[in-house]
Structure 1
Amino acid sequence: MSRTVNALVYGDVDLNLIDGSAVWAQSTVQALSRAGCRTRLVLKAPVHTGRLVDPLTGLPGVSVVRPHEERLLPGLADRPLSPVQASQVLAGLDEDDPCDLLVLRGRRLVARVVADGCFDGRIWAYLTDIPQSAAEMTEEARAELGRIAEAGARLLCQTEELRCLLETWVPEAVGKCLLSPPSVPEPDFDVPEHERPHDPFRLVYTGKFAPLWNTLPMTRLPALLAEDGIRAELHTVGDKIHDDPAHPGFQTAMARALAATPGVEHHGGQPREEAMRLAADCDLGLGWREPALDASLELSTKVLEFGALGLPVVLNRTPAHEALLGEDYPLYVPGRAALEDAAAAVARAVREPEARRLAAERCRSAAAHHTLQVAADRWRGHLGAAFPAAPAAVIARPRPLRVGVAGHDLKFLTRLLDHFRALPGLDVRVDAWEALARHDPAASRELADWADVVVVEWCGPAAVWYSRHKRPDSRLVIRLHRFELDADWPRQVAIDAVDQVICVSTYYARRTLEHTGWPESKVTVIPNWVDTDQLDRPKAPGARFRLGMIGIAPSRKRLDLGLDVLETLRAEDRRWRLSVKSKPPWEYWWIWSKPEERAHYDAVLRRIQTSPLLEGAVVFDDYGTDVASWLRRIGHVLSTSDDESFHLAPAEGMASAAVPALLPWPGADEIYDTRWIHPDPAAMAASIATLDRTTWQSTGDTARTQARARFSLNGVARAWTDLLVT
């Protein structure tokens, strides 16, 4: 990030009331400030208490916009902004002082802003109030989320599980989803050691009071524990009591319980820092909720806040909590998570100091990965990628460098195009050919006359056309993959008009020179890019025993050899499985029209159906762009092809910390470390079988490090940028 980025932040939340969503707004502004952003926080409601807002007003680069007090819309009175009004206010602020990004929270709000169309390409949407299961993901919801993803720049996801769900159901979201977990401030006071608990033992709950959060039954814990011989008291902090139509009378009963229950001391609404001070003087945090919330894909901020204070927490056993604190965390609520079960967990914390200390250490360790500074560093990385620095070579230019991109299939250039468009000092236009040899000559001529540099993807008819129509004072760069060498197009290219030919591997650069006789100085190698940041995700349980293949058509991809590997492994251990992510071969007319191709797949599919070792062990997954979430389930990625120009699958697998396994197709050893290359399927299977859990993880870490060093999107983008602006 070479310049100060201007951010607008608005959440569909009332910052007078302290709950997780209000704390999100405060934390986001704090993190953006630390990341060097100029940040304007726009308030939904008039300020009645400055508990959350006041700590922000003195932060570097931060200003608070108060639409009601500043009369930014007529007739607001004291009512909070509706989504329609909020969109109008934000559009007006942007017109006066344009923002680079608009950070929004709340699905209804984001949908309204998207519909109004003033911020397309600048919206960073933080969404938690979305369907969080396949059963809830209606077609209407999916379509709305698709529109949000298309119009937005990024989607901010609180957890990995939420990101994967979005990418699976909303293809438009793939590549735009970033992790943005909750963050907690580092305490600015000395935190007690908590070695000796208080007498009575102090429980603490902070946040909103709502039926599903078990806040009403919580008030009965001191009395229930007293029956078990444990003196305890409950301290509560917060001022937001839900009026829940599904639970009539809750609001009144909750208020009465906080005010009049023996053993309950209610501290009311407090600034976040004071709430943390009060909690730090207690012995055990409460994060126990109704089991109906166990499937939530969100992460509780209060668990992290308690952890930052060195407090252990009693909470439900859920997949999210197990991922955060471990399966053996000692203070999960047992049984059905009823009131008696919660009391049993509290009693264990009281009577077993070692369990309490282990729980506190786990919570403290988890919180250390969710501090405001960690969030600021994460934002700095996100913003650096979204707003890259201008290349030095274009800063002094009197006008932007004009870059034209042409070709019939730009799928391997998508993220590079995003990078070029984000670079200050570059003006990018695209000439998208309708087919390999079909285009609009007038549009192509216009681009050729306009551009300072033309990049042609594939050395096919477009490369031939542009080599014959480029301006003498412009530059032409062509990228050649593999299949073009089997056709006459390279010989038809006017190579004297070409400044550089890019090949994706040394082997194919050498083959290109041998095939064409072009000057060696005109052929260079830049590998394919891999979005290593997006692919770097925690593995799902059971991934170690799952092989993966991406793309199995045409037959030279050799699915049959992958089945050889699987059968060999399953002969010793039936836990092994193979997942195949690919279009079926019959969806490619140019493959399925060949009798030898149909015969190959007929034999392969019959083998899967009839082999006792393969029964139930091969899964065909839908072709799609959700490769990053799919790779979470994969422990080993196979490349069994007869030949490849590069083969992205093992590189993508490496970036996900899957262990790659390749057969020695020509040129493989010039792209990938030879430790991953095996002479035949039997040797491949033997190598895979030797990896126990520890060595599989360490080997995957090595593969991930190599992928980052060799194929990262950032590194490849820099190489392309240097080539274009030189």
Structure 2
Amino acid sequence: MIDGSAIWAQGMVQALARAGCEVTLVLKAPVRTGRLVDPLRALPGVTVRSPHDEGLADTSMAPKQAAAILARVDEESPHDLIVVRGRRLAAKLAAGPLAGRLWTYLTDVPQSAAEFDTAAKAELRRIADASRVLLCQTEELRGFLENAVPATAGKSVLFPPVVVLPDGLSPRPAGPPDGPLRLVYTGKFAPRWNTYEMTSLPRLLSMRGVDAELHMVGDKIHDDPSDPGFSPRMRTALETAEGVIWHGGHPRAEAMRLTAAGDVGLSWRDASMDTSLELSTKVLECGTLGVPVVLNRTPMHERLLGADYPLFAATEDDVLDSLTLIGKNPDVFTLAADRCRTAASDFTLEAAAGRLRKYLAQTFPEPSDKVLAVKNRRLRVGVAGHDLKFFTRLLDYLRSRPDMEVQVDHWPALKAHDEEKSQALVDWADVIICEWCGPNALWYSKRKRPDQRLVVRLHRFELYASWPKQLDIDTIDQVICVSPHYNTLTREITGWPSSKVTTIPNWVDDSQLDRAKLPGAEHHLGMIGIAPSRKRLDLALDVVEELRRDDPRFTLFVKSKLPWEYWWIWQKDEERAHFEKVFRRIRRSRHLSGGVVFDSYGRDVASWLRRIGFVLSTSDDESFHLAPAEGMASGAVPALLPWPGADTIYDPHWIHETPSAMATAIATTVSQNRWQSEAAQARTQLKTAYALEKICHQWTDLLTP
């Protein structure tokens, strides 16, 4: 059959092969036609397995059986990654031997928060935990998943539909229709796809003086339990409706040839599908072929084609108006065709292969001769700590390296651990990394072997505690600080020699954060984390209050836990008094009321930052402050007050002496239309200094001196 999932499988195999992979395609159904499969068998490096022909499956392969067959195929010849489409199958694979190697393509997820019940969230969390990568068709789907299922954050990447023109097929010649207006629909026939309503278009257009014919391609007529009469009604219309030419099912190449012979594609659907998080491949295929498309107006389609695209339609009358307009106005037809062609250029096979090459390089780093030369085997790296939230992506990177083995000693609490497990790590590891200079660093420093390296990463929290003073620095090979300022402070406070203390900045996952901004972002200020009081939300309010006196579009978005959610903060009288005063001010201020939005704390920072144009840092003190850097990676402009050491981390261009100066700089940047250029400058600086890949390489060099 020709449907979206079959076309997706064909495009995915072609893109993987072009990206340099050896690909095994396991078919879920018996082969009844070679329309889609035969071209894949001819590709070098591609193997097509048909479990039905091999006697491994019956006629209906349920997810449980499919999971068992995939495990068997993998056992014969282990694979590095397993790409799977479909939530039910992915859920089965998540509990099996392929977990950890899954690259899961998610489409069949609930499309609204109301449908996302506890069971669905739990299932998707299990899938996310078992997946190395989650492939999302659209930015809308990625953001929705990250908000609903936090485990998907950091693993979700964009992989939009792939459009491949068959060999020898040329796009539609440029220019307006010559003769009858030829409408084209290819795909399945189903109620919400408005395919029955489409069959009336030629007759209704003729009543408006537009000569038109409708070419419909496909052989899959949906049986709808809620409308038993749909299937016979649809078939009758295909066979008898005025101006309708039904071509039946065809190989994809022929279906696309019929599309290229048309003038306008139809992707007009029921309004209930306007909230869909998926992008129709048919729309992109039409664009590649130079055929403009009638489709519903949605935010996703507006971003794809522009808000002024002339062929958006919600009702039958809208469709008729659009088709009448282009049937009589060549300029409108040319505009629509150009928009569709330009939009489709980002969805080519080469573009898909390029995305996959990038994701493959991130997932499978090249081994280092330097690492292998240390022991003539993989380097054994142990990581120990009670809280690894600042080390997650570094840990993922170390685990992904083919020249390293990694074990983790996760302490349940700051001072609590399994001594037997910790000693086993001492006995095994070549290098031990202590995340936090706390009780873990003290314990390991007393037990490390003479031939073993011990690296300790120190944060602001520990520097002013007692643990560094108790540490025998002679047992430590290297102490890592995240900024030059805290490097200096650490040496001043502890007296440790400079040879023992080095700076490796915090990492920023620039690839995950680099997402298209939403409209209006230039007027949106962002602040991530407002507790304790030294984060100085009150100074951020000074900024937004001054901005809103002249332009009420400026809004402050705060993504944070609230202070009373931290017991150790809320029990302090001075903290409670500070925040009570702040929230009272927000309620009572004429300019702040309605101008401050509190968003829930969560891991969906990358999605949240799409709406943010400026990220503020108004703290009294920070060791690094990751929020402005994350904002820079997202395409936001950083705005900082001069807390100690800020100028050793961020360019002085982004640092302002007072909240008033910060407000003036923000207003000027927007009013002079410099926001985009400033954001581009900030993003370039971020990638140069703090990009994840760059920091990972610094850690690799540190572990193998």
Per the alignment, residue 716 of structure 1 pairs with 695
Q: What does residue range 542-621 of structure 1 map to in structure 2 within 5 Å?
A: 542-621=520-599
CA distance in 1, matches of 2:508, 2:165: 35
Mapped contact 1:544–1:634 kept (Cα < 8 A)? yes
Q: CA deviation at 1:132?
A: 1.0
> What are the Cα deviations for residues 543-595 of structure 1, in whole angstroms up to 9, with x where unaligned?
22221111111111001000100110111111221111111222223222222
Residue 151, structure 1, aligned to residue 127, structure 2: no
Q: Partner of 2:514 in structure 1?
A: 536
Q: Give 3-state SS (helix, strand or coil) of 2:628's partner.
A: helix
Structure 1, residues 308-350: CA drift from partner, whole Å, max 9, x if none? Answer: 01111111111110011110111111xxx23232121111111
**What is residue 42 of structure 2 aligned with on the other side?**
58
Partners of 2:419 and 2:117 in 1: CA distance: 44
Q: 1:701 aligns with which of 676, 680, 688?
A: 680
- The aligned runs of 1:11-50 (5 Å cut-off) are 17-50=1-34
Contact 1:349 1:356 in 2 (8 A): yes
- The SS at the match of 1:556 is helix
Report SS of the residue matched to 2:619: coil
In 2: Cα distance, 1:338 partner to 1:485 partner? 65
Is residue 510 from structure 1 mapped to residue 488 from structure 2 by the alignment?
yes
Match of 2:315 in 1: 338
**Would the aligned equivalents of 1:198 and 1:283 in 2 still touch at CA under 8 Å?**
no
| 1:353 partner amino acid | P
Determine the C-alpha separation between the residues in 1 that align with 2:270 and 2:145. 25
Distance, in Å, in 1 between the alignment partners of 2:347 and 2:268 is 20
Q: Would the aligned equivalents of 2:624 and 2:649 in 1 still touch at CA under 8 Å?
A: yes
The equivalences for 1:657-668 within 5 A come to 657-668=635-646
Q: Which residue of 1 aligns with 2:206?
A: 226
Deviations 1:464-520 (A, max 9, x none): 222221100011111112222212322322222222111111111112222222222
Structure-to-structure mapping, 1:456-471, within 5 angstroms: 456-471=434-449
Per the alignment, residue 245 of structure 1 pairs with 225
Between the aligned partners of 2:460 and 2:318, the Cα distance in structure 1 is 63
SS in 1 for 2:615: strand
Distance in 1 between the 2:172 and 2:267 partners? Answer: 20
Question: What SS does the aligned partner of 2:269 have?
Answer: coil
1:237-265 CA-partner distances (Å, limit 9, x unpaired) = 22221111122222222222222333222
Quick one: which of 414, 418, 431 aligns to 1:436?
414
Percent sequence identity is: 62
Instruction: State the shift of 1:267 in Å.
Output: 2.2
1:134 and 2:113 correspond: yes
What letter corresponds to residue 64 of structure 2 in structure 1?
V
**Counterparts in 2 of 1:453 and 1:214: CA distance versus 1, 3 Å:** same
SS of residue in 2 equivalent to 1:692: helix
> SS state of the match for residue 391, structure 2?
helix
Q: Is the 8 A contact 1:331 1:355 kept in 2?
A: no
1:353 to 2:330 alignment: yes
Query: In the alignment, which residue of structure 1 is the partner of 2:341?
Result: 364
- Residue in 2 aligned with 1:98? 78
Match of 2:222, SS state, is: coil
| Number of corresponding residues | 702
Query: Could you tell me which residue of structure 2 aligns to residue 12 of structure 1?
Result: none
Q: 2:194 aligns with which of 178, 194, 214?
A: 214
User: What does residue 6 of structure 1 align with?
Assistant: none
**CA offsets per residue over residues 213-258 of structure 1, 9 Å max, x none?**
1111212211111111111111222222111112222222222222
- Secondary structure (helix, strand or coil) at the match of 1:235 reads strand
Amino acid at match of 1:262: E
Listed as ranges, the gaps of 5+ residues in structure 2 are none
Match of 1:13 in 2: none
Deviation at 1:681, TM superposition (A): 0.2
One-letter identity of the residue aligned with 1:340: D
Q: Distance in 2 between matches of 1:469 and 1:72?
A: 54
Q: Normalising to structure 1: TM-score of the pair?
A: 0.94
Q: Which residue of 1 aligns with 2:664?
A: 686
In the TM superposition, what are the counterparts of 1:367-378 in structure 2 within 5 Å? 367-378=344-355
- 5+ unaligned residues in a row in structure 1: which ranges? 1-16
Give 1:205-354 correspondences, 5 Å limit: 205-333=185-313, 337-354=314-331
Once residues 259 and 684 of structure 1 are traced to their aligned partners in structure 2, the CA distance between those partners, rounded to angstroms, is 68
Residues in 2 aligned to 1:248 and 1:102: alpha-carbon distance in whole angstroms: 39
In the superposition, the TM-score normalised over structure 2's length comes to: 0.97
Aligned-partner residue type, residue 527 of structure 1:
P
Q: Contact 1:558–1:641 (CA<8 Å) still a contact in 2?
A: yes
State whether structure 2 residue 364 is matched by structure 1 residue 387.
Answer: yes
Give the distance between the partners of 1:412 and 1:263, measured in 2 at CA. 64
Distance in 2 (CA, whole Å) between partners of 1:339 and 1:614 is 45
* RMSD after superposition: 1.5
CA contact (8 A) 2:305 2:343 kept: yes
SS at match of 1:614: coil
Are 1:391 and 1:725, in contact at CA under 8 Å, matched by a contact in 2? no
| Partner in structure 2 of residue 108 of structure 1 | 88
Q: Which stretch shows the higher mean deviation, 105-114 or 301-310?
A: 105-114
Task: State the Cα distance separating 1:434 from its structure 2 match.
Answer: 2.6
The farther-off stretch of 166-175 and 685-694 is 685-694
Q: Which sits farther off after the overlay, 167-176 or 430-439?
A: 430-439
The answer (yes or no) to whether the contact 2:453–2:476 under 8 Å persists in 1 is yes
Does the CA contact (< 8 Å) of 2:437 and 2:462 recur in 1? yes
Find the aligned partners of 1:657 and 1:214 in 2 and give their Cα distance.
39
Cα distance in 1 for partners of 2:45, 2:345 equals 26
**Number of the residue aligned with 2:632:** 654
Secondary structure of 2:611's counterpart equals coil
More deviation in 381-390 or 516-525?
516-525
Read off the aligned partner of 2:470 and give its amino acid letter: Q
2:47 is equivalent to residue 68 of structure 1: no
Does the 8 Å contact 1:194/1:283 carry over to 2? no
Moved more, 320-329 or 692-701: 692-701
Q: Which residue does the alignment assign to 1:174?
A: 153
Tell me what 1:11 maps to.
none
User: 1:82 — aligned with what?
Assistant: 62
Structure 1 residue 187, shift from structure 2 partner? 5.5
Which shifted more, 617-626 or 357-366? 617-626
Residues 179-233 of structure 1, C-alpha deviations (whole Å, 9 max, x = no match):
1111101464332323141311211111111111111121221111111111111
Deviation at 1:725, TM superposition (A): 2.6
Name 1:123's counterpart in structure 2: 102
Provide the C-alpha distance between the structure 1 equivalents of 2:576 and 2:82, rounded to a whole number of angstroms: 52
> Which SS does the other structure have where 1:208 is aligned?
coil
Verify the 8 A CA contact 1:331 1:348 in the aligned structure 2: no
> What SS is found at the alignment partner of 1:615?
coil
Indicate yes or no: 2:432 matched with 1:454. Answer: yes
In the TM superposition, residue 147 of structure 1 has moved relative to its aligned partner by 1.6
Q: Is the 8 A contact 1:503 1:525 kept in 2?
A: yes
One-letter amino acid matched to 1:343: L
For residues 461 and 53 of structure 2, what CA distance do their matches in structure 1 show? 65
Q: CA deviation at 1:288?
A: 1.0
Aligned residues of 1:198 and 1:282 also touching (Cα < 8 A): no
